[in-house]
Amino acid sequence: MCQLLTTVSGEPSAALVGQFKMARGVYTLGVLLLTSAFWLSAIFKILDFDGAIQEVRGLTGLEPASIVAVLVIAVQLSGSALLIWGGRASVIGAVILSGFTVAATLIAHAWWVKDGVDRVRDFNVFFEHLGLVGGFILAGLLGLQLRRR
């Protein structure tokens, strides 16, 4: 089995190199999909900055909403880019996106204060977002492992 992983000179075999390239490609595709809601949201906020400001006001009421919107864009883009990059950066990106997602979910989907269909909808969205956080954690750790190879 060890001979499949290394050549006579001790260098990684073509099979091992091929597996790493495939794993890295699958990782990149996976994190592009995992982070797509965030980097696409940031792009649309940039293209419609007035809409981004209104979204901040509607969800949080925080002022100045324009500064909060810029910060949201920066967090969404930087967290996504770092997670996609891999290595140690992926762990930082995972922490950024996880923190943002937990905070935004607590603000926007507080199902425990709602009734009826709003409660059910926000309950589902709340836990879907926690699932994203789990994905970020796994992707951050996988990115770290892939970079070490």
Q: What digits encode the pLDDT tens for the residues 88-147?
A: 999 999 999 999 999 999 999 999 999 999 999 999 999 999 999 999 999 999 998 887
DSSP SS3 for 137: helix
> Which one has a higher pLDDT value, 54 or 8?
54
CA R_g for the chain: 20
pLDDT tens sequence across 65-88: 999 999 999 999 999 999 999 999
Domain positions in the chain: 39-148
pTM over 0.85: no
**What pLDDT does residue 12 have?**
58
Structural contact between residues 146 and 24, judged by C-beta atoms closer than 8 angstroms: yes
Angle subtended at Cα 68 by Cα 100 and Cα 71, rounded to the nearest 5 degrees: 60
* Distance between CA atoms of residues 97 and 16, nearest Å: 32
* pLDDT on residue 129: 97
Task: Go through 84-123 and write b for each residue having 16 or more CB atoms within 10 A of its CB, e for each that does not.
Answer: bbbeebbbbbbbbbbebbeebbeeebebeeeeeeeeeebe
Give the chain's length: 149
